[in-house]
Amino acid sequence: MSRRRKKQAAYNKAHSITPQTIKRRVLEIKELAGRLKKESAKLVGDFSTLDINPKNLKRAVKDLDKRMKTAADNLNFELAAEYRDRLFELKEMSGTTKK
């Protein structure tokens, strides 16, 4: 049993929690995924329309990195992944990616 699973089992036992299967219709899940994708697209924005030059590229990378970490801290991993992908794009533009 992995460390995390042991921790979760101990927590569940201490708080009298019985794990249960999520009971949702597939359609509900698809609708939720669609809404999350639209929200993520609005929040992330399209960086191709930004005027990115060497002066503000570092600032844009820092800002995006901060947004990604905040999204991950808020357990919004889909949004954090979108930010991560945009970060890779910006870093590639600046030539700071490690190969």
CA distance 86 to 80: 10
CA distance 84 to 11: 32
Tell me if 44 is assigned to some domain: yes
Residue 97 reports pLDDT greater than 60: no
Taking only the tens place, the pLDDT of each residue in 55-83 is 677 777 888 888 889 888 888 888 888 88
Residue 99 reports pLDDT greater than 60: no
> CB–CB of 86/64 below 8 Å?
yes
Nearest to 37 by CA among 90, 96, 78, 91: 78
pTM score, whole prediction: 0.45
Distances (CA, A) of 5 to 1, 8, 12: 6, 5, 10
Structure tokens at 24: 């949702």
How many structural domains compose the chain? 1
pLDDT at residue 67, rounded to an integer = 86
| Domain limits for position 15 | 3-94
Taking only the tens place, the pLDDT of each residue in 2-53 is 899 999 999 999 999 998 887 767 667 677 777 766 665 665 555 554 555 6
Tell me if 33 is assigned to some domain: yes
Tell me if 56 is assigned to some domain: yes
